[in-house]
Amino acid sequence: MRLHELEVTAFGPFVDTVAVDFDALSDAGLFLLTGATGAGKTSVLDAVCFGLYGEVPGERHSARHLRSDQAAPDTEPRVVLRFSVGGRTFRTTRSPAWDRPRRRGEGTRRIQAHVVAEELREGTWTALTTRLDEAGLLVTDLLGMTVAQFTQVAMLPQGRFQAFLRAGSAERHDVLQRLFRTRRFEDVERWLVERRSTLRRESTRGHDAVRDLLGRVEEATEVAVPDDWALDDLETLAGLVEAGRLGTWLTEVGAGLSVAAEAQGERLVAVDATARAARDLLDVERSAASHRARAARAQQQLAALESERPRDDSDRAALADHRRAEPLLPLLRRVGAAGREAERTTRAAERHRAAAVALLGDRAPEPTPSHLTTAVHEWREAAAEARARLPQEQELRAARDRLADLSARCERTRAEHAQALVRLEEAERTAAAQEVTRRDLEAAAASLEVDAATEAGAARVLAAAEEHDEVAAELAGARERLTAATATAQDLREHYLDLREQRISGMAAELATGLAVGCSCPVCGSAEHPSPARATTTVGRGDEEAARQTHETADFTRQALAESVATLSARLTSLAATSGGRSVAACRADLADATSRHRSSRTAARGLRSLDDARDARQASLTRSTAEVASLEVRVAERDREHDQARDRVQHLAADLDDWLGRHDAAGSDVATLVDRLEAGVRTLVAATTATEEHHRAAASLDAARAEAREAAAGAGFADGVAVGEALLPEARVAEVEERWQRRERTRAEAEAVLADEQVRAAVATPARDVVELQREVDHAERVRDHVVAARRHALGRCDRLEELRTSLDHALGAWEPVRRSHQVTARLASLVEGTSLDNRWRMRLSAYVLSERLRQVVAAANERLAAMTDQRFTLEQVDEKGAGERRGGLSLRVRDDWSGTRRDPATLSGGETFVVSLALALGLADTVSHEAGGTALDTLFIDEGFGSLDAETLDGVMDTLDQLRDGGRVVGLVSHVAELRTRVPSQLEVSKARHGSSLRPVLDLG
């Protein structure tokens, strides 16, 4: 990965847009990023990191404040970075989240962070993504490392690699874990532990299932397991299963249950034979007792039949008379039917003749059949004439309906005409009133533009007055803060000068603290230090530098506050001129009055436009109303003419019809009613004629039937028909006599058959036995058999239940076995990666072992450069033992001094030695992380600070090592303000700070 160009706007200390051409700086392979303290050297590296990942290194990222405080309020912070990876060129444009002033009103609006990632393809920039997360993943995939790895590998941070050298095992573990992303090994440890617990629970459930099944086996078979079996212990039960003892015991229990079931079966055969013999004897005696009872009942039935013989004789005589009279029954029934018919026709004839007399009146007081026939003919002719008049009556009815409809239409048309007149008058009054209103609104709307301008001016004056009060309060506070900041800056300046004087006085003692055995003195060059100077003051270079930075920060704050006071003063003067010195209350009252006048004029203008828009509609409505009145007047005249014609037609038809009805004695009635009356009379006369004829025929039939019946009765031996009727019996009585006689005969035959039965005769001849005693013997034999059956069923049930439980037990053991074996394997692996297993001779966790191995690689890479930079004196060593108070082993570092043959703690190194060893360690760490990340070549590398602690000879060795980093086209940027580096590194990027923000200036040729 190589950087080509960086452009920064309103970012960190850079107020305006500044650009860095890394290609120009990289021609020599080494360049210096220099400038005064606080100018913004580290901010350049922050911009590079932000352009790639959207984050800045270290604690500065947590502040979430990247925009320049001195930039214009509406200037957007932006970082544009062009870089290349593997022959592909990319450009990212990022902007952090910032607060932009609102364009209208007060306050600010939060602008969210955004990004555009592009790739140069065939000379054209092609957008890849505009999502923050996708852009971060894109860069991570391209470089093969996260932001934490990149800042540790490509940007050796100020003071961070020295802290890594001197860190304890815990801190070094966190750094290595973050860089090498070894959390996956901790995930493996955690997964194995969780998997062990899961399998332990599953194995326990399997053990519980097997144990419960064995308990059910004990309960079902009533056989206890051996006393030495501890079923509640998982390992013991597993051992019994694996040794086969559990299967052997189940087989033995099954064999014992089978033997017991067979013995119960043999006993059942014997007791069943005894029970059957007792049951057979009881059945024989019960059958004999039943036959004896049947014989007794048969003898009783025969005696009862003999006592009822006289009644039987009487029933036979009555039944014989009935049989002799039964053939005459149809003749008797015909006589009865003829009599009933004659009686009916007599009543009907009398009823219809009475109706005919009532209809004819005095013209036929006693109508004969000939009179009735003549009357029927006359009434039918009258009915036909009346039906011929029905169409005339229907025409009259239709004419009256049309007359009523025309009357209703006339009324409706007159009502519509009256309503149209009312609408016309209302439209004329409305038009006149709206014309008056329009003239009033036109006068009120004339001042609309003047009122609008007045309201806008009053609003501007009010806003200026309100802001004037706010700026005045803000200016007072700013002046107070400026006074306090000025005093603070002056006090800190005096404190810094005092510390500087004290340090200069103790400079010899400070140089003496950096001396080491065998090292040359930076003043005299001697390797012997017989009496180094003693410090008389506790002020060191760090104290002086901290005081200077504190003073510069306070002075920068004072300058910013002074500029803020000047800006606020100018703004206050401008606002006073705009408001005219008026109070907010007075300005607000003026605005309310102007707003009210403007609102009134706007309302009048809207009303005027509405009236003008509706003028044509009003005129059209008035025209329509006038035309409607004229049209309705014509329709009223037409309706009246049609009504008069219909009335004349109704009067003519009614007079003719009333005259005809009067001639037929139907005045006041209608034709349809007369037709109905005449047709009803015809029907009455016809019915009377028919009823008379039927009466004569029925009388003749009755006389003939009676003569035939008398002749047949005499022939059958009966005196007359009455005697025949008395001999006849009802059908129910006949059926009852016949059924009783047949029942007696059946009973006699059945009784005689029972007494003749051989089994009955034998039972009567045999002595009776005690059935109750025989039943007790049968009950006892069956109880014994039932007990044996239950015992055998119980024995067979135990065998079957054992087989079922054994099948379930086989399934449970089959399910438990793979879980148990998996748990054993997982438990051994979990103990191994946890460092608690005897197989782990280092007693080291898996993640710690991996990090320890990575640290060995880092140390090996660091020693390759450390030997050259220290003239083969120092070598880094990794030690496995834990330090004092440390919980982790394998991550401790020592420095072996080959000149003195001792192993030193990194904390005992001098400032220059610490820088050299830390730099070698950081470079080794960078090489290892880069290789671990996938081999992505980092062609641009930054090293931040630390060179001021080196003497000339050590600096030469360090620079030689840095020169070697340029092999293969790598570019190294040194971040430092050490003056000697300016003479050593010709290509430079100078960062200058000023009151209004920092700036960048490339220095490519110092000669």
What is the per-residue DSSP string for 362-420? Answer: GG-SS--HHHHHHHHHHHHHHHHHHHHTHHHHHHHHHHHHHHHHHHHHHHHHHHHHHHH
In a shared domain, residues 799 and 918: no
In a shared domain, residues 442 and 455: no
Strand pairing of 2-9 and 78-85? antiparallel
In a shared domain, residues 126 and 97: yes
> pLDDT digit string (tens) for 939-985?
787 887 556 566 667 777 777 777 766 665 678 888 877 777 788 88
Residues 247, 323: Cα–Cα separation, whole Å: 97
Averaged pLDDT, 805-811: 80
| pTM of the entire predicted model | 0.43
Q: What is the pLDDT of residue 160?
A: 63
In a domain, 272, yes or no: yes
Q: Identify the helix (H) or strand (E) that includes residue 974.
A: strand 971-975
Q: What is the pLDDT of residue 48?
A: 92
Here the contacts of 899-908 (C-beta below 8 Å, separation 24 or greater) are 899/518, 899/873, 900/517, 900/518, 903/877, 906/165, 906/166, 907/166
* pLDDT of 302 above 60: yes
* pLDDT of 159 above 60: no
Q: What is the pLDDT of residue 7?
A: 95
- Angle at which helices 183-221 and 846-869 cross, to 10°: 160
Q: What are phi and psi of 518, to 5 degrees?
A: 95, -15
Residues 31, 971: Cα–Cα separation, whole Å: 8
In a domain, 368, yes or no: no
The CA dihedral of 42, 47, 52, 56, to the nearest 10 degrees, is: 60
User: Rounded mean pLDDT of the chain?
Assistant: 78
In a domain, 514, yes or no: no
Lowest mean pLDDT among 655-669, 771-785, 829-843, 865-879: 655-669
In a shared domain, residues 130 and 177: no
pLDDT band at 887 (very low <50, low <70, confident <90, very high): low
Residues 803, 810: Cα–Cα separation, whole Å: 10
In a shared domain, residues 155 and 266: no
* pLDDT of 881 above 90: no
pLDDT band at 1006 (very low <50, low <70, confident <90, very high): very low
In a domain, 678, yes or no: no
In a domain, 47, yes or no: yes
In a shared domain, residues 45 and 124: yes
CATH for 81: 3.40.50.300
* Residues of the domain holding 44: 1-144+967-1007
In a shared domain, residues 50 and 114: yes
The CA dihedral of 494, 497, 498, 503, to the nearest 10 degrees, is: 160
* pLDDT of 532 above 80: no
In a domain, 742, yes or no: no
Residues 201, 823: Cα–Cα separation, whole Å: 9
Is-contact 934 147, C-beta < 8 A?
Answer: no
Q: What is the pLDDT of residue 538?
A: 65
The residue out of 600, 633, 663 marking a domain boundary is: 663
pLDDT band at 161 (very low <50, low <70, confident <90, very high): low
In a shared domain, residues 117 and 161: no
**Quick one: 901 exposed, middle or buried, by C-beta within 10 A (0-12, 13-18, 19+)?**
exposed
In a domain, 81, yes or no: yes
In a shared domain, residues 630 and 492: no
CB atoms within 10 A of CB 521: 16
Contacts of 412 (CB under 8 A, 6+ apart): none
pLDDT band at 92 (very low <50, low <70, confident <90, very high): very high
Is-contact 82 91, C-beta < 8 A?
Answer: yes
Averaged pLDDT, 900-921: 82
**Residue bearing the bigger pLDDT, 10 or 932:** 10
> pLDDT digit string (tens) for 103-133?
777 888 888 899 999 999 999 999 999 998 8
pLDDT band at 1007 (very low <50, low <70, confident <90, very high): very low
Q: What is the pLDDT of residue 884?
A: 47
Is-contact 921 943, C-beta < 8 A?
Answer: no
pLDDT band at 79 (very low <50, low <70, confident <90, very high): very high
Averaged pLDDT, 809-816: 79
Structure tokens at 593: 């009055």
Share above pLDDT 90 across residues of the chain, in percent, rounded to a whole number: 6
Give the chain's domain count. 5
In a shared domain, residues 12 and 109: yes
In a shared domain, residues 203 and 176: no
Contacts of 570 (CB under 8 A, 6+ apart): none
Q: What are phi and psi of 124, to 5 degrees?
A: -125, 135
Structure tokens at 283: 């059945």
Q: What is the pLDDT of residue 508?
A: 58
> pLDDT digit string (tens) for 537-549?
567 777 777 887 7
In a domain, 584, yes or no: yes
The residue out of 834, 859, 877 marking a domain boundary is: 834
Residues β-bridged to residue 109 = 100
Q: What is the pLDDT of residue 850?
A: 85
Give me the residue label for tokens 């700070």: 993
In a shared domain, residues 98 and 19: yes
Range with the largest mean pLDDT of 85-99, 506-520, 702-716, 848-862:
85-99
Lowest mean pLDDT among 443-447, 584-588, 786-790: 443-447
Is-contact 843 877, C-beta < 8 A?
Answer: no
Strand pairing of 30-35 and 971-975? parallel
Strand pairing of 78-85 and 988-992? unpaired
